[in-house]
């Protein structure tokens, strides 16, 4: 028999597996700019808000709206007071001492009340109370903030980070009058540091917020230094209400402290400018108008609560 030749056919089968180490294409990031402004503001048309502030008068002549500013060291509390006065005087004004250096310690060390001058020798029916800044270690104590809210801290008291104001001290107001108590608590935070605020710091602020709420004190938040938040804001602050970054920052702040979005106002304080700017004025006046309105609501609440039925 002849030899049989068998042909060999090799069949190669290939299995293609996806590379588990290779990342999938990332989705396109959302547009940083909204198509439409999510909060309306009349840029440069400040007359209505200015007239509201200049004509504001509490229901009773002897009332003065006391606005207490609270925030981290270097957030711009004193600069906000100066910026408000600048807008109302239509020139750069500096009464509250502000530190241009981003120091780790508070520049304001004592309890200071700032009256706001009107024409002539009269004053606006609201005052700003500046106190030592909040900190993780060296700032104002939580108990002292609560005493200030209730009107127990006398003018000029120098805060001590190591001990709170004791009852019986000469700077302790034993029986505070209604005019000494805070009517509006304004939180002042830097917009560019909201993201990295420590949890223990937030807890301290939340406890103060709860204490103020228990007294029905009106509460507003100011986010300063918005021009440091992103290049688009630095280029033009009129982008504030169309930028996704700004809204997300406000939403995070609202979620952390429980302050409603409609009580949070971004501003740019006067800092390097030597001339007035109508767009900066627009944001400051918008915030100030709502601070006054919330405070006036508090006055109305007090009178309705204690009026004889």
16-37 average pLDDT score? 66
Q: What share of the chain is helix, strand, coil (3-state, %, to 5)?
A: 35, 15, 50
Start-to-end C-alpha separation, the chain: 128
Residue 206, both tokens = 């939340």
Counting Cα atoms < 13 Å in the Cβ hemisphere of 14 gives 2
CA distance 76 to 78: 6
9: left (phi over 0), alpha (psi -120 to 50) or beta: beta
pLDDT number for residue 61: 73
| Model confidence pLDDT, tens digit, residues 235-244 | 999 999 999 9
More confident residue, 305 or 164: 164
CA distance 83 to 280: 9
Helical packing angle, 47-55 and 77-89, nearest 10°? 100
More confident residue, 22 or 148: 148
The structure's pTM equals 0.86
Structural domains of the chain ordered from first start: 65-304 (3.40.50.300)
156: left (phi over 0), alpha (psi -120 to 50) or beta: left
pLDDT number for residue 201: 85
CB within 8 A of 261, min separation 6: which ones?
Answer: 250, 251, 254
140-149 average pLDDT score? 97
Cα 177–chain centre separation: 28
41: left (phi over 0), alpha (psi -120 to 50) or beta: beta
CA distance 288 to 49: 9
Which DSSP helix (H) or strand (E) runs through 23? none
Q: Which phi and psi angles does 143 have, rounded to 5°?
A: -65, -35
Largest CA distance in the chain: 132
9-36 average pLDDT score? 62
More confident residue, 35 or 118: 118
- Are 159 and 144 spatial neighbours (Cβ–Cβ below 8 Å)? yes
């Amino acid at each position: 028999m002849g030899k049989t030749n068998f042909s060999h056919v090799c069949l190669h089968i290939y299995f293609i597996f996806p590379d588990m180490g290779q990342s999938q294409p990332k989705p396109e990031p959302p547009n940083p700019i909204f198509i439409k402004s999510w909060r309306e503001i009349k840029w440069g048309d400040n007359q209505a808000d200015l007239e509201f502030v200049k004509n504001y008068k509490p229901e009773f002549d002897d009332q003065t709206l006391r606005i207490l500013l609270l925030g981290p060291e270097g957030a711009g509390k004193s600069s906000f007071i100066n910026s408000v006065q600048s807008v109302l005087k239509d020139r750069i004004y500096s009464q509250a001492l502000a530190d241009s250096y981003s120091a780790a310690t508070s520049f304001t060390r004592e309890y200071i009340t700032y009256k706001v001058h009107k024409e002539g020798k009269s004053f606006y029916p609201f005052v700003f109370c500046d106190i030592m800044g909040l900190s993780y270690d060296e700032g104002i104590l939580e108990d002292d903030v609560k005493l200030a809210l209730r009107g127990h801290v006398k003018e000029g008291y120098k805060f001590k980070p190591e001990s709170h104001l004791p009852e019986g001290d000469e700077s302790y107001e034993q029986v505070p009058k209604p005019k000494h108590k805070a009517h509006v608590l304004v939180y002042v935070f830097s917009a560019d540091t909201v993201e990295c605020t420590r949890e223990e710091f937030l807890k301290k602020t939340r406890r103060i917020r709860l204490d103020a709420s228990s007294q029905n004190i009106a509460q507003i938040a100011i986010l300063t230094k918005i021009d440091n938040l992103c290049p688009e804001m630095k280029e033009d602050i009129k982008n504030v209400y169309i930028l996704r970054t700004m809204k997300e920052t406000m939403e995070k702040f609202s979620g952390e402290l429980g302050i409603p979005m409609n009580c949070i106002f971004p501003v740019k304080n006067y800092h390097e400018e030597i001339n007035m700017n109508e767009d900066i004025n627009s944001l400051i006046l918008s915030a100030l108008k709502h601070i006054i309105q919330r405070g006036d609501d508090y006055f109305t609440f007090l009178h309705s609560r204690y009026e004889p039925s």
